[in-house]
Amino acid sequence: MKQLILILSIITTLSCKAQSPIVPIEEKSNNPYSENIYYKDVNGIYDPYIGTWVWQDGNSSITIEIVKLEQVYYEVHTRKLYKDRLIGRIKYIENGVEIFNTLSNSDDDFTLINKNYTPKDDKFNFRFEDPLLPSKTGHVDFDLINDGAQATFRLRNTEGVRFYQPGETPEDPDFSMPRRVEFTLTKQ
């Protein structure tokens, strides 16, 4: 009987797993890459950004849908962690012609990506992956204005050093939508 209790105790002990500690996402920099941690949006700092945002000028428009994905799994430097994140899809129409539309894409296929950024002072940054130009990425500054009823959207090139293979021409192609232009979007 003692052996049975001992065996059951050992099995129970070995099969128990500690839960991942939950840390508010805005405190991520205080707990960098701890094992099995969950950086959760417990205080709703992502909430003002979630929704549909629209800019329109005549026959040209930008529609952005931002959603929150919860408890997304990551491996960073061999450590496993979970994090809430925002992703976005976008439709761009220029002079009545649809240039691209990723609004119906799945959660695994999106254009705007919140990687390691956390909103601060109503300002947020996304990584932009151009849907028409493979490997063309940039940054989006997405800043809330007018108490969150509107936001400014500005696409810019990724800053930093660029490397070119022998024979390649150093160039900085434009995106398939305007860059260095600030659009004011209204939350729907």
Return mean pLDDT, the chain: 84
pLDDT band (50, 70, 90) for residue 160: low
- Return the percentage of the chain with pLDDT > 90, whole number: 43
pTM value is 0.79
Q: Encoding tokens for residue 141?
A: 């500054």
Q: Which residues contact 122 (CB under 8 A, 6 or more apart)?
A: 48, 143, 144, 145, 148
Residue 114: enclosing H or E segment and its boundaries? none
Return the top range by mean pLDDT from 29-38, 146-155, 177-186.
Answer: 146-155
pLDDT digits (tens, 9 = 90+) for 30-66: 766 567 889 999 999 999 999 999 999 999 999 999 9
Instruction: Fill in the DSSP letter of residue 120.
Output: B
> Residue for token digits 């920099």?
29
Give the integer Cα–Cα distance in Å for 105 and 92.
14
Residue 8 has pLDDT above 70, yes or no: no
Return the top range by mean pLDDT from 24-28, 33-37, 152-156, 184-188.
Answer: 184-188
pLDDT digits (tens, 9 = 90+) for 74-95: 887 778 889 998 989 999 999 9
- The sign of the CA dihedral 92, 98, 102, 104 is positive
Give the integer Cα–Cα distance in Å for 130 and 104.
16
